[in-house]
């Protein structure tokens, strides 16, 4: 039986084991799995619905999906939904966040606003995000 990453961490990383370890292959297998594809589709639906609510009810000027869901090859079984929202008034942000959690249908959602967003993350969002 093969070793897990935890086993290799405890026992060290023998060179022969390192040559066999290709994490991108596991990620590629996951992206082709029908259940994983369906889960990603549901996460995208939740993201679009969340964006609609954030714009219509909370005045968001723009909503951007970023993180592993935006980069579909990195979306894994434990991945959450990362959304950047711009323009939600500060006094409504926590209410908006609570409503999005209700919409999430079993997904964890991280809602990020402009003033909480460090410059490096904002660059990533601008460069790799999906505008919803």
Instruction: Check which CATH number belongs to the domain holding 114 and give it.
Output: 3.30.460.10
According to the model, what pLDDT value does residue 1 have?
47
State pTM to two decimals.
0.74
Q: What range does the domain containing 70 cover?
A: 14-131
Is residue 75, in this structure, part of any structural domain at all?
A: yes
Number of domains in the chain: 1
Is residue 107, in this structure, part of any structural domain at all?
A: yes
Q: Is the pLDDT of residue 49 over 90?
A: yes
Spatial distance between the Cα atoms of 18 and 96, rounded to a whole number of angstroms: 46
Three-class secondary structure of residue 111 per DSSP: strand
Q: What is the mean pLDDT of residues 103-112?
A: 93
Mean pLDDT over the full length of the chain:
84
Is residue 80, in this structure, part of any structural domain at all?
A: yes
Is residue 31, in this structure, part of any structural domain at all?
A: yes
Q: Who's near 40: CB < 8 A, 6+ residues apart?
A: 69, 72, 75
């Amino acid at each position: 039986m093969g070793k897990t990453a935890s086993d290799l961490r405890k026992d060290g990383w023998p060179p022969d084991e390192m040559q066999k370890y290709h994490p991108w292959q596991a990620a590629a297998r996951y992206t082709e799995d029908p259940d994983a594809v369906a889960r990603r589709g549901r996460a995208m639906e939740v993201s679009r619905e969340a964006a609609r609510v954030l714009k219509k009810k909370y005045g968001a000027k723009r909503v951007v999906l970023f993180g592993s869901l935006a980069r579909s090859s990195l979306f894994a079984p434990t991945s959450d939904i990362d959304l950047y929202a711009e323009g939600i008034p500060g006094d409504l942000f926590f209410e908006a966040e609570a409503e999005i959690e209700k919409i999430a249908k079993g997904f964890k959602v991280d809602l990020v606003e402009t003033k909480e967003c460090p410059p490096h993350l904002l660059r990533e969002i601008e460069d790799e995000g999906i505008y919803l």
